[in-house]
Amino acid sequence: MNLLNFEKALEQDFVTIRHSPENKMLWNQWRGSIPSDPLREAMIFACEFIVANEIELILADYTKMQPPSLQDQNWIAIHSAEILQHSKLKRVANVMGTDIFQQLSIETIYQIASQTPLPCESRDFMFKDDALEWLFSTE
């Protein structure tokens, strides 16, 4: 990660979003239990940023995030998919925490979002290095 050049796109108590323009990459780090309104606003910001900046790769770090409510999971899936279907996204690597409920919540979001055709492939990882290796592989 140190070799990649990142600039902060958004910094809040519960999320840091960094952007690497030369790699067309976004790195999201989500933290804690996030109230609905700030969570939804940050998700919409990220999605619109992805489209506007023609992001192709995302490293989404959920290791320190508490699972969002089922209502938020549904809302995020539907609204994110509506925006991201128009993106240039190719790959999304999710770095998951050890909490099974957190893992299930991310799975649920992707399952609901999959009802809208998205241009990218996503995979879940336990380690950031494995996620990065996949993001930049040419397989």
SS3 assignment, position 6: coil
Positions in the chain whose pLDDT score sits under 70: 1-3, 139
The domains located in the chain, with CATH, are 7-135 (3.30.750.24)
Report the pLDDT value the prediction gives residue 119, as an integer from 0 to 100. Answer: 86
Q: Which two tokens stand for residue 35?
A: 């109230």
SS3 assignment, position 77: helix
Report the pLDDT value the prediction gives residue 115, as an integer from 0 to 100. Answer: 87
What is the C-alpha separation between 63 and 10, in angstroms, rounded? 18
What is the C-alpha separation between 113 and 133, in angstroms, rounded? 25
Report the pLDDT value the prediction gives residue 116, as an integer from 0 to 100. Answer: 87
What is the C-alpha separation between 130 and 64, in angstroms, rounded? 18
Q: Are 76 and 30 in contact (CB under 8 A)?
A: no
- 119, HSE (Cβ side, Cα atoms, 13 Å): 16
What is the C-alpha separation between 63 and 94, in angstroms, rounded? 9
pLDDT digit string, tens, across residues 97-122:
888 888 899 899 889 888 888 889 99
Q: Are 112 and 73 in contact (CB under 8 A)?
A: yes
pTM of the model: 0.90
